[in-house]
Structure formats: structure tokens, C-alpha cells
Structure 1
Amino acid sequence: MSVEFYRNRIRETENAIQAANEKIARLRACRAHLIGQEIIMGDTKHTFKEPELTKENWYGKHADEFDAERESEVVGPYQDLLNEVGNTIEKATNEISATQDVINFQSSLLSNYQIGLERAIEREKEE
């Protein structure tokens, strides 16, 4: 194969590696932000149950209905959102790992292309 072929492949592979590294940087920043939000959300979750409805401050049918509604309309959906944040963090972590695998593969290709380029240059010198 020609010197130009290997130079093109090297350039394309270097561009692919750079793009993958940029993707990893964005994913890591997103993941870090989500982890911060997950911590904040987890720390504030208990506030949705305040004030606690007890026999001393409020009881009866309306208190039970309000407590059930608070659980179904606020606490439950908030927990669902918190779970979704956790799932998104896991997806980002998996995507980082998969992209790193692509980088490793591309780096291997790059090395092979560089060796091929050196050999092609040597062949041209011999001709």
C-alpha cells in the first residue's frame, strides 16, 4: 500500500481518537454533575415528608388523605426521578468505558498504520 494511504489512515485515526477523547471528557463532566445532583437530591428527599403528620399535630381522615397524596404525588415521583438520575449515571459510566475501548482499538490501528507507513517509505526508497 502507498505512503499516501497510510498517511490518510493515520490522520483519520488520530481524528477519531481525538473525537472519542472529547466525548469522554463531556461524558465525565456530565457524570460528575449528575453525581452532584444525585447527592443533593438524596440529601433533601426527607424534606418532602415534613412536617410529619402525627396525632399530636394533625390526624384524621384528611391527614391520612393528605399523607397518601403527598406520598403518591411528591415522594414517589421524586424517588423515580432520583432512580432515573442513577440510571443515567450508570449509562454514562458504561458509555465512557465503551468509548475507552474504541480509543484503545483505534490506538492499536494507529500503531499498525504507523508501522505500515514506515515500511511503505522504506519500499519507496528502495525503488
Structure 2
Amino acid sequence: MEMEQLSSEISSVHTAISHLNHAAMVKQEQLERLQRCESQLAPLEDDLQNYSRLIKKPELHSENWMGSNAQEFEGIREESMVTPLNELINFQYSQLKESLANKISELKSEIQSLQSQVSSQRARLSQLESQSKELAANG
């Protein structure tokens, strides 16, 4: 391999390493944002559970309130507040946590892959630089 070709290949590998490092950095920033989001989301589950209990207060029963207004109020409270909040807690919140966990896992894998590619490119660069030194010494 000629010196000019080696220099070109070395330059190409440097560029590839730079691009891979940049991509890994971007993925790492995305990962950190998602991890912050995940940590901020965790305490909200307790808040939602507390709200669910609060919505059911006051407890209405025949000793403290009865009649059509009581039944209508209880129906509205159940339909408009309790059921949607339970759906939010049991389905949407769980789905969001799962989606975040999956995306975090995906990003970790992508970062690991990019770091592996960087290592491979660095090994290739080391080989090319050795060849370049040998060629310079012999030439």
C-alpha cells in the first residue's frame, strides 16, 4: 500500500471515529434526559394514588347523604373522575414507564454498539499508523 493511500485511509478512519463519537455523545445526552424524566416520573405514581383516594372523599352512603342528588353526584364522580384516574394510573402510567424503560434500554444498546465501533476503528487506525511508520522507515 502506498503512503498516499495509507494517509487517505488514516484520515478516513479519523473521520469515522469522530462521527461515531459524536453519535455516541448525542445518544448519551438522550439517555440522560430520559433517565431524568424517569426519575421525575416515579414520585408521580404516589401522587396519583393519593389523588385517587381523595376523589372518593367524602364517602357517601345512606347515613350521610341519600336521594337522587347523592346518586347523581356519585355517578358523575365515578364516571368523570375515578374511572379516568384509575385508567391513567393502571394503564397509561404503566405504559409510559414501560416505554421509557424500553427506550432507555435501546439507547444503552446503541451507545454500546457505537463504542464498540469506535474501538474497532481505533484498532484499524493503529494498524494503519503502524503500516505508515514501516513504509516511512523502509522508504
User: Which category of TM-score, normalised to the shorter sequence, fits these structures?
Assistant: over 0.9
Q: Is 2:8 the partner of 1:13?
A: no
Q: TM-score, normalised by structure 1?
A: 0.93
Deviation per residue, 1:45-70 (Å, 9 max, x gap): 11101111111110122212211110
Q: TM-score, normalised by structure 2?
A: 0.86
Aligned equivalents of 1:39, 1:12: Cα separation in 2: 43
Aligned to 1:30: 37
Aligned to 1:93: 101
How many residues are paired up?
127
Aligned equivalents of 2:114, 2:31: Cα separation in 1: 14
Moved more, 57-66 or 25-34: 57-66
Rg (Cα) greater in structure? 2
Q: Is 2:83 the partner of 1:80?
A: no
Task: Read off the aligned partner of 1:125 and give its amino acid letter.
Answer: K
Contact 1:38 1:86 in 2 (8 A): no
- The secondary structure found in structure 2 opposite 1:125 is helix
How far 1:92 moved relative to its partner? 0.7
- The secondary structure found in structure 1 opposite 2:61 is coil
For structure 1, the 5+ residue unaligned runs are none
Aligned to 1:69: 76
How far 1:102 moved relative to its partner? 0.4
Deviation per residue, 1:14-38 (Å, 9 max, x gap): 1111111111110011111111112
Task: Read off the aligned partner of 2:126 and give its amino acid letter.
Answer: E
Aligned equivalents of 1:42, 1:15: Cα separation in 2: 42
Aligned equivalents of 2:64, 2:27: Cα separation in 1: 58
How far 1:10 moved relative to its partner? 0.8
Structure 1's consecutive aligned runs of 4 or more residues displaced over 3 angstroms after TM superposition are none
Aligned to 1:108: 116
Aligned equivalents of 1:6, 1:102: Cα separation in 2: 20
